[in-house]
Structure 1
Amino acid sequence: MDIVKIPKKLTTILDTLRSGQIEIGLEQLEKIEGFEPQKAIVHSEINYFSDNYEIAMSNDEMALPFDEQWYAGNILVEHFFAYSNTAIISDNILRAETFYKSFLTEKEKLDLPEHRINFYRHQVKNHLSKLKGEKDLPIDNALIQIVKDGKSTAEFIAQLKVYRPKLTFDSKEGAEYLLNFMLEQGNTDESLAYYEKFADKIFNSTIHLNATRLFQLAGQTNKAQKSMLTIARNWYPVEHIQITPMILFSYEDLYPLLTKELKEEILRMPKAQQ
């Protein structure tokens, strides 16, 4: 199965949807003939962010078996997380198990490279385990921890001088470099304070994700949700058919933040504006 090229008229509609104009974009999308798996991906993302559980699962069941039609592997990975989580919270575990097993059976019938088949097997095996309630699986993102002690600010400044001597601690560029280390190795309170100083100027999604997770862990829900909105605002798709930051579903510690209201705000805010 070959990757399907998305025509200009469809990419324009996808841009409209990413901008938050959902009703206008959907009305235009219905007029496009063909591209059914791609359109199902779009519908699933809208429905996951609208808490339309049954419909979102149906959309993914229609779309994901055709994942060879697009390039980005993260679409399947992120949608599997959303699909599994939705199955659990909506009591559709048996349905999800049936889908995953059928998905893998059909992939194994295809003449695909061994590494690709192994990727599918790995994903399906772990998501079947997730449906059974197992935690800390190989597909899960590593946990992040509150750090009381750790490297001091002076040590990070010294690190900056050694490895990025042209940058300063009080610059956006310096912060974007250092926060990759500070949020994991430094005192959490100091690191988050430093993050807040530059948050609106930083585009590195990993930094925003780690800050959001730490705010959530520290019980600072409002700041965590604000940081999550920054993630959504700065998010940019790998593939045209992505219209929402589905990566948020890959971090299970962020699920408590994803209220219906916040998801609706993310869905309807302008995204991919870099």
Structure 2
Amino acid sequence: MSQQVIWITGASSGIGEASAYKFVNEGYLVILSARNREALERVKASSSNPGNCKVLSLDLIDQATFEEKTKEAIAAFGHIDLMLHNGGISQRSLIRDTPIEVDRKLMEVNFFGTVALTKALLPHFISRKSGQFGVISSLVGKFGSPYRSSYAAAKHALHGFFESLRLEHFNDHIAVTMICPGFIKTDVSKNALTADGSPLNEMDKAQENGMSAGACATEIFKALKHKKEEVYIGGKETMGIYLKRFLPTIFTKILRKSEVR
């Protein structure tokens, strides 16, 4: 029971899968969650120590199940030390073309699902006077981008929520690390919602040329281990954070001219 326990959502692919392998390699006990149980079983079997993994299927839209799912997660290894909120879905559609139902789905999965699961686990952290939330946001959680309006809005909202949580629960020794990846080579763009709610099924060029999921997972591990408040992971695109902060008008002009789809 001295081993640290991490619960990872969106663990069936991409950053979540790579993070699962990294934490297992580092000796953690890992709870793997996503909708696709078969994919989770594959990740477990592919890890360096399948015995240190537990599979717990979970759908971020089905929030009525979260209290019971959280009980199951805690029971898996007796406690949880760290929650890595990675589950979510991206977007590739213009505002004018996107019906409100698609906007609502993006908010429901990316924001409300994460918040609801946090609220289900928070009492466990409070009772133990210990715990950490790692939250996979995005660089567009810090600035807007064409074709990603409600995705960016949901990620912005996560920053507001978890920054408040960090302040409210400082005396409970609960840490929050906001993780903002840039272009990471995963299927996130393929699965992104288009205007009619269907997946894009295409890989972005920037995504294809981005940092590997494994390298990203290594950076995530370091950030969580050192309890960083906020980190930016990727290549030169991370400079957008500083351009937005110090040269916002110039940054806006750059974005207008960029091929960001």
User: What is the TM-score with the length of structure 2 in the denominator?
Assistant: 0.31
Report 1 or 2 for greater relative contact order, CA contacts < 8 Å, sequence distance ≥ 6: 1
Structure possessing the higher radius of gyration over alpha carbons: 1
User: What is the TM-score with the length of structure 1 in the denominator?
Assistant: 0.30
Which structure's residues are more often strand, by fraction?
A: 2
Which structure's residues are more often helix, by fraction?
A: 1
